[in-house]
A and B are shown apart, each in its own frame.
Chain A
Amino acid sequence: MIKVLKKTAQAGFEEKNDLIVEVSPLQAESGIIIELQSPVKNQYGSHIETLIKDTVAAEGFSDVQVNVSDKGAWDYTIKARIIAALERGMA
């Protein structure tokens, strides 16, 4: 069952090793669109984008705009913040 985000929601903090994730609903068939800002984009950009896409999909969403402002967060933090933002977007 595909989940549809109800509203725009945010999670995370603007701290080193953390990130701010903002998720917004998109029209059906839009897909998962990612806007990533990160100081490690050259080194981990494509890895982080894949992680975001996989996490959003695993949570059951298919049409979401994900804006990420990263400050060098590790994978587990990125994943946790995305899940938190998505849950808040369903509340």
Chain B
Amino acid sequence: MKNAVGREIPAHISGISNTRLYEGTSAYTPAHTGAGKKLRAGKPHTDKILKSIDEAIEKTGLKNGQTISFHHHLRNGDYVMKMVMECIAAKGIKDITIASSSLSPCHDFLIDYIRDGTVTALESSGLRGQLGKYLTKNPGALKKPTIIRSHGGRARAIEAGELHIDTAFMAAPTCDRQGNATGRIGKSAFGSMGYAMIDAAYADKVVLITDNLVNDPVYPYSIPQTQVDYIVPVEAIGDPEGIASGAIRITKSPTQLLIAEYAAEVMDETGVLKDGFSMQMGSGGASLAAAKFIREKMEDQNITGSFGIGGITGIFADMLKDGLFKACYDAQTFDTTAVKSLSENPNHIEISASFYANPWNAGPIVNDLDVVILSATEVDLDFNVNVITDSNGICMGASGGHSDTAAGAALTIIVVPLIRGRLPMIRNHVQNVVTPGDDVDVIITERGLAINPKRTDLIEKLKDSKLPIMKIEDLQQLAYAFVGKPEEIKLSDDDRDIVAVVEYRDGSILDVIRKPLV
């Protein structure tokens, strides 16, 4: 059956109980009650601190077939998932579902545990590295397709009871002996614990793994002791090199800078740039570079914004410090400058993934965004955006907050080069849809901009603009004139070759990722 973005979805996907198809960005309204929290009764004066991860696995009673979760705040420096999986495998526990808020190349070791049956299912924001390649080429390696969710979609699925976590193993850069934990300090500090907050609040059992156990009470805490069953001190939870990059700098690429300049100009000419405006910038080169031009315009025109959301980088933290914005909401802190800002600047506010983007609460902050600037791996003539598979159909990215912010923002700008290497980035149909075109307003390339024809208001506002505004079909033809029209990748139409199911943020099925036949 075809869903509302024109994707052919099988009526039943083996191993996936969800059959609700995507019907539109706000087509579905929930009318049920969400998940409850399993009750526990902590005894007075009991010690939560255990000697080893092995002991924690014993105490939680982890069994074959259960679901465990991790957060990805340690990004590509994470040691915790590997430490936990080594213990689980050594105990001979099989058929585990890993529900991590995302996966990085440091998790390529999972291939071995998938091969030996320790891990049989994955739920994640993304699939990257060798693991992404392996699963794309061997969809049968897991007992069911990987479920891909946005950050808001994952928070929603947990709170709604669609993703039930038996045990959450949460890396904590600092925690006290009661389990009050923070990511702001410690040798492995990574900033906000936004993703971890949801797991800690809803998992049946919560184990904190820390490399900085302190005796004094930790405050402010991101995870409260009321949610923590056990604490395991370890030597190191991650590699600082992989956790947070040094200060992220603005790109020097002339193409990226031109795209960024156009993005700032669109914001200016459509009247978004005004006192009290709010924004989010994605983590790509051009979207971050837009900050440079936005800042110039804000300073020239004496504009003070209301708030920013992130994915916070030092680039935004500096704008906050310099008074260009009143506050920023942070679910994930990207670099060392931003980690410092979260610790020191009271206007830098830590939020959970649910506060950030869960479509099924009364008000995620993305709903109040005036503008978001996002990258893409490719876009299409219907303005759909792919950020999960590359041009050869291999899983190499993550859904992240892309569809969440695009849905919430009044103006969604996609920045993407017209051509990468030799490949035109405006396709007839994207390989996979992560963000539906209905949520995308303007696509900006270095050769020109296209406005979604549904946004007649924007077309009107920009009708006298000097910006190189074109029809998206003409932009595509421009790329073809340079590099020729690419041949389409052939995909398997066998339903056993479904690698992953891409859920829209409301849990409906937006797309399936099929194995490429190459």
Q: In the bound complex, do residue A42 and residue B484 qualify as a contact, i.e. CB atoms below 8 Å apart?
A: no
**How many residues in A have their beta carbons less than 8 Å from beta carbons of B?**
15
**B392, B421, B518: which contacts A72 (Cβ < 8 A)?**
B421
Q: Is B422's beta carbon under 8 Å from chain A? A: yes
Q: Which residues 415-467 of B have a CB within 8 angstroms of A?
A: 421-423
- Please tell me if the beta carbons of B487 and A46 are within 8 angstroms of each other in the complex: yes
Q: B489, A40: Cβ atoms under 8 Å?
A: no
Q: How far is the CB of B389 from chain A (nearest CB, A)?
A: 13
> Which chain A positions have C-beta within 8 A of B392?
42
In the complex, whether A37 has a CB less than 8 A from a CB of chain B is no
Partner of B487, one of A16, A42, A71, A74: A42
Contacts of A74 in B (CB 8 A): 422, 482-483
B contact residues around A60 at 8 Å (CB): none
Known A74-B482, A74-B483, A75-B484; contact A44-B489, beta-carbon cutoff 8 A: no
- Contact residues in B for A42 (Cβ distance below 8 Å): 391-392, 487, 489, 518
B residues 488-518 near A (Cβ < 8 Å) are: 489, 518
- Across the interface, do A17 and B486 meet the contact criterion of CB distance under 8 Å? no
For B484, the closest partner residue in chain A by CB is A47
A83 at the interface (CB under 8 A from B): no
Known: A42-B392, A42-B489, A42-B518. A72 touches B422 (CB 8 A): yes
- A27 on interface, CB distance cutoff 8 Å: no
0/1 interface trace, chain B 469-491, chain A, CB 8 Å (1 if under): 00000000000001110110100
Establish whether residues B423 and A43, one from each chain, have CB atoms under 8 Å apart when the complex forms. yes
Query: Are B391 and A43 in touch, CB under 8 angstroms?
Result: yes
Would you call A31 an interface residue if the criterion is a C-beta within 8 Å of the partner chain's C-beta atoms? no
Question: Chain A residues near B487 (CB, 8 Å)?
Answer: 42-47
Q: Is the beta-carbon distance between B486 and A44 smaller than 8 angstroms?
A: yes
- Cα A71 to Cα B486 in complex, Å, equals 16
Interface hub of A17, A40, A45, A71 (most chain B Cβ within 10 A): A40
Cross-chain contact B422 with A44 (CB below 8 angstroms)? yes
Provide the bound-state CA to CA distance between A45 and B487, in Å. 9
Contacting residues, chain B, for A73 (C-beta < 8 A): 422
* Identity of the chain B residue whose Cβ is nearest the Cβ of A47 in the assembled complex: B484
In the assembled complex, the CB of A47 is this many whole angstroms from the nearest CB of chain B, namely 6
Q: What CA separation (Å) do A59 and B26 show in the bound complex?
A: 60
B137 to chain A, nearest CB (A): 14
CA distance A39 to B518 in the complex (A): 12
Residue ranges of A at the interface with B (Cβ–Cβ < 8 Å):
16-17, 39-40, 42-47, 71-75
Given contacts A44-B422, A44-B484, A44-B487, 20 further A-B contacts (CB under 8 A): A17-B421, A39-B421, A40-B391, A40-B421, A40-B423, A40-B486, A42-B392, A42-B489, A43-B391, A43-B422, A43-B487, A43-B489, A44-B483, A44-B486, A45-B487, A47-B484, A71-B421, A72-B422, A74-B422, A74-B483
Q: Which residues from chain B sit less than 8 Å from chain A, CB to CB?
A: 391-392, 421-423, 482-484, 486-487, 489, 518
The 10 closest A-B pairs by CB, nearest first: A72-B421, A43-B486, A72-B422, A40-B422, A43-B487, A42-B518, A42-B489, A74-B483, A42-B392, A47-B484
